[in-house]
Amino acid sequence: MDSFSSHSSMGSGSPQMSSEDFKDQLKNQLAQAYAQEFLETVRDKCFAKCITKPGSSLSGSESSCISRCVERYIEATGIISRALFNAPR
C-alpha cells in the first residue's frame, strides 16, 4: 500500500477519509508547519536585529525592538494568510 491509502482508512472495511476531512487535515498540518516556521523566523530575525549584546536581561530598547519586530511579522503573516485562504478557488 502507498502512504496515502494506508493512512486514509480508519480500519479494516471502513470507508476512506472524505475529501473534506482530508482537506481539513491538510489545512491543520499546513497551519502547524507555518506556525513553526513563523516562530523560527521571528526568533532568528528579531534576535539578530534587536539583541546587540546578549545578557541576562533585555534592555529597554531591545525589548521595544523585539515587540515592534514581532508585531510586524504578525501583521505580515495575517495579510499573507488572508490572501492565501480567501483567494477564489
pLDDT at 85: 84
Burial 30-52 (b: 16+ CB within 10 A, else e): eeeeeeeeeeeebeeebeeebee
Q: Identify whether 73 is part of a domain.
A: yes
On whether residue 12 sits in a domain, the answer given is no
Let me know if residue 71 belongs to a domain.
yes
pTM > 0.85:
no
Mean pLDDT lowest among 8-12, 44-48, 78-82: 8-12
Q: Could you read off the pLDDT of 26-71 as tens digits, one per residue? A: 999 998 998 898 889 889 999 999 998 888 999 999 999 999 999 9
Range of the domain at 54: 19-86
Domain membership of residue 5 (yes or no) is no
Instruction: Provide the pLDDT for residue 66.
Output: 94
